[in-house]
Amino acid sequence: MIIVTGAAGFIGSALVSKLNNEKYYDIVLVDDFSNEQKNKNLINKKFSLKVHRDIFIEWLKLNHKYVEFIFHIGARTDTTEFNYEIFERLNVNYSKKIWSICVEFGIPLIYASSAATYGSGELGYSDDEKIVNQLKPLNPYGVSKNEFDKWALQQDKKPYFWAGLKFFNVYGPNEYHKKRMASVIYHAYNQIIDTGELKLFKSHKEGIVDGEQKRDFIYVKDVCDVILFLMHNRKKSGIYNIGTGKARTFNDLAFSVFKALKKNVNIKYVDTPEDIRDKYQYYTEADITKLRNIGYNKEFTSLELGIDDYVNNFLSKMRYL
């Protein structure tokens, strides 16, 4: 039996799809299942049971002997939420309970951390665990993820295999429900369909041209490939960056969406809102040396190919993974 928390969400549901493709069907889905839009992500998925997140901890204590692996992907991910108590309860304390049960009963664990832990990137984007205590996330969500990473590293008792995954800018099918928190590609597609143009933030940093801000965009299918690799190859526990290792510009992204839609490029650059301007990231790029060193040698989907697949095989057809 495999457990996936956050199973109705974006990455969680994509992971369930990947598990099904690998012939894993004895899966327990954990979420709150109250969002009907999110629940569409689970249509046609094969699984054994749904467990509400509020009763999952007690359920796990009673059923631990049947569990082979836990993917703890569920989290509160809203970066516009500033009530830290919500993050502490759902992202930190809840995760501690799952970790402790995994330690007690010998269950391997993979959990979702985030590249939001890196803040403005003043210390770079290395998943070297020595710098975790020095990181300065820019919002409560990033703080909560970093607090759990710090706590996990400090524990004398750890699951016999564990991995904390720092997801960079993930995009792809099954994010339809995320609304404001969906990827730039999702919003770009809808904006171009609706208006024929795409608005991108201007650069307010000397030396960087409008639209040349960079992010490490990773296709959700690649994320799931890495997660399954870690499940099958439990070589070295620790914290891992999950990105492509190649930063790409927002202009690259825009051109790719217009091309996928077979439309002429029409970009309008607008001022970055003042309330986020001082916290805006101009560059992120995952250092994936650690991941490569444990044997993950598969190439990542290029931004162009990922966007073409997402736009033409999913967004334009409202298909789910």
Domains of the chain, first to last: 2-171+217-244+290-296 (3.40.50.720), 172-216+245-289+297-321 (3.90.25.10)
This prediction has a pTM of: 0.95
> What are the E-state strand segments in the chain?
2-5, 27-31, 49-52, 69-72, 109-114, 162-167, 169-171, 198-201, 214-215, 217-219, 238-242, 248-249, 267-270
- Per-residue pLDDT tens digits of the chain, which is 321 residues long: 999 999 999 999 999 999 999 999 999 999 999 999 999 999 999 999 999 999 999 999 999 999 999 999 988 766 666 777 878 888 899 999 999 999 999 999 999 999 999 998 999 999 999 999 999 998 888 999 999 999 999 999 999 999 999 999 999 999 999 988 899 999 999 999 999 999 999 999 899 999 999 999 999 999 999 999 999 999 899 999 999 999 999 999 999 999 999 999 999 999 988 877 777 888 999 999 999 999 999 999 999 999 999 999 999 999 999
- 216-to-21, 122, 317 alpha-carbon distances in Å: 27, 16, 26
Catalytic option among 40, 96, 150, 178:
178
Catalytic option among 111, 141, 189, 219:
141
Q: Catalytic annotation on 178?
A: yes
Q: Are 1 and 27 in contact (CB under 8 A)?
A: yes
Q: Catalytic annotation on 141?
A: yes
The alpha carbons of the chain give a radius of gyration, in whole angstroms, of 19
Per DSSP, 318 falls in state T
